[in-house]
């Protein structure tokens, strides 16, 4: 069944790109609401449905807009946590144009969901089942989404830095995998890019407290890495968060090579442009109870109702 929060819960933090202090509150929401972000700092308090059609910027983060001037950026870590914790419906209040970055990972948002508690709702949860392979490419970057059981992500990165080098990881997002294996992985950047990013109005709130910073072949953070392959784990967080903008969980297998926010968004655009590539499926209680290699019951409604 669909899930929401049991109670409201809030936090404050700094915007990674704006550098401004931001207060955020997660609220329960009714079945079939989806994820919505409300800008409480604007006069009309506009609400933005968080879905791929409302993406307006993918430079260094994912930003959504209501089409009337209100936007919220850096949503991917929060969206990944909501996906990983199976939260279908929530209204998120923010008093700024960005979700707070916290420590640069998804773990603080997982913690918020756990503290608020999870409530099961009366409506069945639907997923987007992949029926045929969809691929998008951009020079040496690519993503393929193909049929499969559950949701498996295979991700590979390759950076010209010995601190990162080439890393690859495959994870199936069941049985707490997101919380235990991915959530704590932090965002990262290179010291030599900081000045250019800040001239472009980006990374104004970035620091060693909320990002891994690499200088040449060295990690500057005194505490080091949380995982030996923390970089590829964080890229999977970004991917999971961006794909949750599909509006429902994905049932299939993703193979990603060096992809980022822009290509992640292109993948959703390509998927929904091909009606033969997907259909709606209803999840059964047993699917989540056992969590491995589930069988998916097709929805009684038409495939694209």
**What pLDDT does 195 receive?**
79
Q: Is 20 helix (H, G, I), strand (E, B) or coil?
A: coil
What's 285's DSSP letter? H
- Residue 45 sits at φ, ψ, to 5 deg, of 45, 60
Share of the chain above pLDDT 70, in %: 93
User: Rounded to the nearest 5°, which phi and psi values hold at 55?
Assistant: -75, 130
Q: Indicate the average pLDDT of the chain.
A: 91
Bridge partners of residue 64, in order along the sequence: 55, 72
Where is the domain boundary, 84, 101, 120? 120
167 and 251 fall within a common domain: yes
Active-site residue (options: 261, 265, 290, 304): 261
**How far lies 163's CA from each of 19, 43, 74, 159, in Å?**
26, 46, 25, 9
Tell me: the pLDDT tens digits for 67-110? 999 999 999 999 999 999 999 999 999 999 999 999 999 999 99
Instruction: Tell me the residue range of the domain where 36 lies.
Output: 3-120
CB atoms within 10 A of CB 249: 21
The answer to which of 149-158, 207-216, 263-272, 282-291 has the lowest mean pLDDT is 282-291
Domain-embedded: residue 72: yes
Number of domains in the chain: 2
Q: Is the distance from CB of 28 to CB of 12 less than 8 angstroms?
A: no
Task: Give the model's pLDDT for residue 292.
Answer: 36
pLDDT greater than 50 at residue 214: yes
Are residues 144 and 293 both part of a single domain? yes
In a domain, 304, yes or no: no
Mean of the pLDDT values across residues 227-237?
97
Predicted local confidence at residue 304, as pLDDT? 32
92, 120, 148 — which closes off a domain?
120
77 is catalytic: no
CATH code, domain with 212: 3.30.1700.10
CATH number, position 104: 3.30.230.20
CA distance 128 to 132: 12
In this structure, the answer to whether residues 142 and 166 fall within a common structural domain is: yes
Closest CA to 225 of 184, 180, 179, 171: 184
């Amino acid at each position: 069944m669909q899930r929401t929060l049991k109670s409201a819960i809030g936090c404050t933090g700094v915007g990674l790109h704006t550098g401004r202090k931001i207060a955020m509150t997660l609220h329960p929401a009714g079945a079939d609401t989806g994820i919505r972000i409300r800008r409480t700092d604007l006069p009309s308090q506009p609400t933005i449905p968080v879905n791929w059609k409302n993406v307006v910027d993918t430079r260094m983060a994912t930003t959504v807009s209501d089409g009337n001037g209100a936007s919220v950026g850096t949503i991917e870590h929060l969206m990944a946590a909501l996906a990983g914790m199976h939260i279908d419906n929530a209204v998120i209040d923010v008093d700024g144009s960005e979700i707070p970055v916290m420590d640069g990972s998804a773990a603080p948002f997982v913690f918020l969901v756990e503290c608020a508690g999870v409530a099961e709702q009366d409506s069945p949860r639907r997923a987007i089942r992949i029926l045929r392979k969809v691929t998008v490419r951009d020079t040496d970057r690519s993503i393929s989404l193909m049929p499969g059981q559950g949701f498996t992500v295979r991700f590979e990165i390759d950076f010209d830095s010995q601190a990162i080098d080439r890393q690859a990881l495959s994870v199936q997002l069941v049985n707490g995998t997101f919380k235990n294996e991915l959530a704590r992985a932090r965002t990262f950047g290179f010291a030599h890019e900081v000045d250019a990013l800040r001239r472009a109005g980006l990374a104004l709130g970035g620091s060693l407290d909320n990002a891994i910073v690499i200088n040449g072949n060295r990690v500057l953070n005194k505490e080091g890495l949380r995982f030996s392959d923390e970089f590829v784990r964080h890229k999977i967080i970004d991917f999971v968060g961006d794909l949750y903008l599909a509006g429902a969980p994905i049932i299939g297998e993703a193979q990603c090579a060096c992809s980022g926010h822009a290509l992640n968004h292109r993948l959703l655009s390509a998927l929904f442009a091909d009606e033969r590539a997907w259909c709606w499926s209803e999840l059964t209680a047993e699917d989540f109870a056992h969590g491995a290699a589930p069988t998916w019951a097709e929805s009684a409604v038409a495939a694209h109702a």
